[in-house]
Structure 1
Amino acid sequence: MDNRQSRRRQKKNRNSRYAHVMQQAQKCLKDGAMREAEIRFRNAIKADITAAEPHHMLAIMAYQAGRLEEAGNHIIEATMRGDDDPAIHADCGAIMNMLGRPQEAEAACRHVIDMDPDHIEAYNNLAVSLSLQDRYDEALEICDAALERRPEYVDTLVNKANLLVKMDDPVAGIEAFAAAITLAPENPVARVNLGAALRLVGELNAAEVQCRKGIALQSNYPEAHVGLGMVLATRGNFEGAIAAFQEALRHRPGFGLAQLNLAAARFKTGDLKAAEAAYRDIIAAHPKGAPAQTGLGVVLLADGRLETAREAFRAAVELDPSEGEAWLNLASALGSDMPLEDVAQMSELVANTRLSLEQRIAIRFALGEVADKRGEYDDAFAHFREANNDRQTAMMKLDKVYDPAAMDELAERIITLFQNTDAPADNANTSKQPVFVLGMPRAGTSLVAQIIASHPNAESRGEAASISSIVPDFPEDTRDRGFGSAGDRILASLASSALRVVDKTPFHFMHIGYILQNLPNAHIILCRRDNEDVALSCYFQNFLGEHPWANDLSNIRRFMAFHDRLVDHWRSLYADSILELHYETLIADAETECRRLINHIGLPWDDRCLSFHKARGPVLTASNWQVRQPLYDHSVGRARHYYAYLDPIRPRLDRT
């Protein structure tokens, strides 16, 4: 009897002590004395080791302070002591999602819903956990179930919108984001995510507005600065993008998405050393991160370190087999030597709908590349056709459809604007430094740029887009804007001390008249290649930009007709200023054609131009594997292997 009474007294005292310590802890928390509150919650655990609430409160405090591992440990302890507390398990779901442990998050959220079928936060966190497991359809169903219970719940609207974007329906996602903003116009998360979706559909002005509104609402929100940086990078404003990513990292050091995008932006500026260092830092901190390995591989490839680039791409697909860009680069590097087990794995991956469409498209292009190199031409074309059909479907969802009539009108406007060879603009820059290598994509522009860059007095800036960035609304608006003349700003954007600097943006074939008005001594190199080979090479290329013409052979023919119409016009006006180089002639008689090229740009001959594949310096184009090899002729007449498939491009194409 005495023992029982003693135990009751001890329990009562323990309960009293626990209640007193918890009361002190809550007061400290209310007063903002976070350190003192944490100490008292830990004392409460000592006072009653069976209590769940101190662990719960410590989990919330650690989560809010960004100490996610600590938060995870405490919330698990809390769930073990409070199995019947929905609030604890709901917070467990949120924290497990943040820790990248979606299966545990799913279990916690389902347990909450079993206890409380109308717990909206549990539905929302359950949808997040399913999304993290690539179970998008299930996640969407859970979002709809939550919104049936509470249609105005903004977090779920944002979650649903993000799911729709992941499911390759950004237009529907934009509508859901807009609904969320209507309900909560001061919500920075909805604003920034809307900006990301608008960027995907090409609405860059609106995307930038939303990101900047998100920053105005919460200036220390890292995702807002990353969103802005991604919009600026899409516009080609890489310096602005770098500043935005750095600002994100200032607010959240070690933020992976900001680090990856910062490294990519540095690469785009041509600063390979900084880009490589950034990727290696990410890999050191996160050795299991596949995207950084892929990014590192791209940098090493651009720098001509082919073997180490292959090693990085191999590491990427071993860490994450869904890394489509890494597979595609491995296929380009290995070709017919691609191991059979790799081909088998890629064949399984393209059928896996849990991969994003972009990942599956890249892997499908990789399979086509391998089959082509093995001489399995029917299989190769089947893979390329499937990849292009998927790309076309994705672009149609974004309302990006090739309009040949609109392109005819564009050609007419350009021709009307540039009718004669009038004197250069009054403020034209007469420098002989710039060289513009242009023409149809896949017509040899990368090869020609690399030959020039191998000269000791020249360098290439890759596809610098130095003209289209100056006059983004060409030809509707060609007015001179900003400080200095257009010619001055074009040269400034190329930023080179070499005697000759190359911009090899193929699509500048539209701007030849504008170039020669503002840079009358610029050197224009027009690259030409057999029409069927160009068309096929475009069809086999996984273009990452917005090129809806490239996914259909008939549209490729129409785009080539657009190109030829403009080129014929420029030749009629500026024949003496334009050097035409034919790929087939360059392959057949390299030295003669290289001498013509170097002479045209006003440099003395240098034998190193014939060893262009040995030249150091960045190659920032889709042809970076090819230009690191000596000249070869197996791409000449490549279309003959696909004769049966090329009827759509033949009716109106004359072979050059």
Structure 2
Amino acid sequence: MSLAQQSKTPTQQQRDNLLNCYQSGRFNEAERLAISITHEFPNYQFAWTVLGAVLKAVGRSSEAVSANQKSVALSPGDAYAHYNLGTTLKEVGRLEEAGKSFLQAIVLKPDFAEAHNNLGVTAQEQSRFEEAIKSYKNAIVLKSDYAQAYYNLGTVLKERFRTEEAEVNLRHAIALKSDFAEAHNGLGAVLKELGRLDEAEVSYRQAIMLRSDYAEAHCNLGTTLKTLGKLDEAKESFREAITLAPNLAEAHRHLTLVKSFDSQDQQYLKMKELYRDENLSQEEQCHINFALAKACEDLGEFEQAFAHYSEGNTLRKKLLNYDIRKDVNLFEQLRSNYSQLSESSLTKEDHKNELIPIFIVGMPRSGTTLVEQIISSHSLVTGAGELFFANEFGASIARGASKVDTESLFSFREKYLAELHRISNGN
């Protein structure tokens, strides 16, 4: 091809046809036109941009990466080209490279809210949570009505056990976009974690009303109904989740806990099929192993049940990425700080509180949930589930990472009791 040919650009009609095909969703035709134009005019960046967008839209993200890389090479000063490359790199799991593309987009266009948001997503998926929080907040500063950024910020705050802040941001997302099913589902998860189960149920049902085929929301509703003791309704929610998403391993596991199995059970047969699926993630494999373990117990196949429990626990250990050295260090911090805590400890006279907390302490699977359900059946008791307020408000004090004195302990007590009072509605 001659230099003269390379310098040419498509006709206005060619450009219009390409754009119209893409915008109207005629992706096959748009792909054909984009390829034709890139062959005839290889230095025409817009055709590569559209080709990348089309390939991404039809799920061919790996090919879209190549098209977007060509677009960046032709116009390295184009922030949107770097952004488009970042989105496709993120989709194929090349998170480190995606982050670099989003950063370059921000360098070229500092007020690019979407690039800040997606930079946060890549950081969150790599467990760089503080970076993610900063990026989402930057996106919100630049675009105050950015519902997706509020939602993303809420999800990462939940992951960091900052549940109150998570609730605030998820409610912001919903206020900006009332039909945001994922935000209603996320809010339900936060409310469940806060022990506000009735409110969580309402949020999950709202998510389902907005998206009746939302399998994860059906599953989450089921777990909340189960905790509330509504076992028949929980069972139906799990079954609906599996009907909508037969491979949803988590729903299979939860359903096994509220039913008994026989050898002809269709769910049991489906779980055995899923167990052989090499495409399952480690988390999904973990769920399926625990689900099959319960089913095998019901069927009296105890050796097989033990094998599944063992495999599930091995996977769970990998997923937790547990390092005993962290706990050894934590316990040492607690021990070394204990005398200072003791010297500053408060008395009951320091605070008059009408609320009487009841703490149920026990090892996992020891029956603490059952004990809570029994106690909270009393009209003067409110169940709160597993709470994270002690960690949220007191971890830095207990470790000696923040100032330890009567004032800080009093502040911790006030915050903790205020949360209990809110959850219990004064009960």
Q: TM over 0.5, yes or no?
A: yes
The Cα of 1:108 is off from its aligned counterpart by 4.4
1:154 alignment partner, SS class = helix
The residue that corresponds to 2:416 in the other structure is 490
Q: Match for 1:445 among 364, 368, 375?
A: 368
Asked if 1:128 corresponds to 2:48, the answer is no
Asked if 1:86 corresponds to 2:14, the answer is no
The residue that corresponds to 2:187 in the other structure is 262
Identity of aligned residues (%): 25
Q: Measure, in 2, the Cα distance between the counterparts of 1:422 and 1:91.
A: 69
Distance 1:143 1:272, change over 3 A: same
Q: Which amino acid counterpart does residue 343 of structure 1 have in structure 2?
A: Y
Q: Measure, in 1, the Cα distance between the counterparts of 2:408 and 2:117.
A: 29
Asked if 1:461 corresponds to 2:384, the answer is yes
1:495 alignment partner, SS class = helix
The residue that corresponds to 1:143 in the other structure is 65
Q: Which amino acid counterpart does residue 88 of structure 2 have in structure 1?
A: K
Q: Measure, in 2, the Cα distance between the counterparts of 1:281 and 1:497.
A: 21
Q: Which amino acid counterpart does residue 411 of structure 2 have in structure 1?
A: S
Q: Which amino acid counterpart does residue 445 of structure 1 have in structure 2?
A: T
Q: Measure, in 2, the Cα distance between the counterparts of 1:365 and 1:464.
A: 25
Q: Measure, in 2, the Cα distance between the counterparts of 1:249 and 1:233.
A: 16
- Contact conserved, 1:127 with 1:139, CA < 8 A, in 2? yes
The Cα of 1:475 is off from its aligned counterpart by 0.5
Q: Measure, in 1, the Cα distance between the counterparts of 2:425 and 2:203.
A: 31
The residue that corresponds to 1:220 in the other structure is 145
Distance 1:443 1:303, change over 3 A: closer
Asked if 1:295 corresponds to 2:223, the answer is no
The residue that corresponds to 2:84 in the other structure is 156
The Cα of 1:491 is off from its aligned counterpart by 1.0
Q: Measure, in 1, the Cα distance between the counterparts of 2:55 and 2:307.
A: 37
C-alpha RMSD of the superposition: 3.7
Q: TM-score, normalised by structure 1?
A: 0.53
Distance 1:455 1:254, change over 3 A: closer
Asked if 1:319 corresponds to 2:251, the answer is no
Distance 1:146 1:386, change over 3 A: farther
2:179 alignment partner, SS class = coil
1:258 alignment partner, SS class = helix
Higher helix share: 2
Q: Match for 1:111 among 24, 32, 36?
A: 32
- Contact conserved, 2:121 with 2:132, CA < 8 A, in 1? yes
Q: Measure, in 1, the Cα distance between the counterparts of 2:258 and 2:222.
A: 12
- Contact conserved, 1:120 with 1:150, CA < 8 A, in 2? no
Q: Measure, in 2, the Cα distance between the counterparts of 1:497 and 1:259.
A: 19
Q: Which amino acid counterpart does residue 479 of structure 1 have in structure 2?
A: K
The residue that corresponds to 2:3 in the other structure is none
The residue that corresponds to 2:359 in the other structure is 436
The residue that corresponds to 2:202 in the other structure is 277
2:346 alignment partner, SS class = coil
Question: Where in structure 1 are there 5+ consecutive unaligned residues?
Answer: 1-52, 54-80, 97-103, 132-137, 502-656
- Contact conserved, 1:140 with 1:160, CA < 8 A, in 2? yes
1:116 alignment partner, SS class = helix
Distance 1:213 1:494, change over 3 A: same
Distance 1:386 1:186, change over 3 A: farther
1:468 alignment partner, SS class = helix
The Cα of 1:310 is off from its aligned counterpart by 0.5
Q: Which amino acid counterpart does residue 87 of structure 2 have in structure 1?
A: N
- Contact conserved, 1:90 with 1:121, CA < 8 A, in 2? no
- Contact conserved, 2:106 with 2:115, CA < 8 A, in 1? yes
Distance 1:84 1:182, change over 3 A: closer
The Cα of 1:414 is off from its aligned counterpart by 1.3
The Cα of 1:477 is off from its aligned counterpart by 2.1
Asked if 1:476 corresponds to 2:400, the answer is yes
Distance 1:416 1:232, change over 3 A: same
2:359 alignment partner, SS class = strand
The residue that corresponds to 1:248 in the other structure is 173
1:220 alignment partner, SS class = coil
2:296 alignment partner, SS class = helix
Q: What count of residue pairs does the alignment treat as equivalent? A: 397
Q: Measure, in 1, the Cα distance between the counterparts of 2:317 and 2:67.
A: 33
- Contact conserved, 2:195 with 2:383, CA < 8 A, in 1? no
Q: Measure, in 2, the Cα distance between the counterparts of 1:490 and 1:232.
A: 19
- Contact conserved, 1:89 with 1:111, CA < 8 A, in 2? no
The residue that corresponds to 1:69 in the other structure is none
Distance 1:321 1:418, change over 3 A: same
Question: Where in structure 2 are there 5+ consecutive unaligned residues?
Answer: 1-11
Distance 1:141 1:348, change over 3 A: farther
Q: Which amino acid counterpart does residue 146 of structure 1 have in structure 2?
A: N
Distance 1:316 1:129, change over 3 A: same
Q: Measure, in 2, the Cα distance between the counterparts of 1:338 and 1:215.
A: 53
Write the deviation string for residues 276-308 of structure 1: whole angstroms up to 9, x where unpaired: 333333333432222232222222212211011
The residue that corresponds to 1:552 in the other structure is none
The residue that corresponds to 1:598 in the other structure is none
- Contact conserved, 2:72 with 2:82, CA < 8 A, in 1? no
Write the mapping of 1:7-86 to structure 2, written as runs, cut at 5 A: 85-86=17-18
Asked if 1:417 corresponds to 2:344, the answer is no
- Contact conserved, 1:242 with 1:265, CA < 8 A, in 2? yes
Q: Which amino acid counterpart does residue 425 of structure 1 have in structure 2?
A: L
Higher RCO (CA-CA < 8 Å; seq separation 6+): 1
Distance 1:378 1:467, change over 3 A: same
Q: TM-score, normalised by structure 2?
A: 0.78
1:424 alignment partner, SS class = coil
Q: Which amino acid counterpart does residue 446 of structure 1 have in structure 2?
A: T
The Cα of 1:318 is off from its aligned counterpart by 0.5
Distance 1:322 1:241, change over 3 A: same
Distance 1:176 1:498, change over 3 A: closer
Q: Which amino acid counterpart does residue 363 of structure 1 have in structure 2?
A: I
2:382 alignment partner, SS class = strand
Distance 1:353 1:188, change over 3 A: farther
The residue that corresponds to 2:324 in the other structure is 404
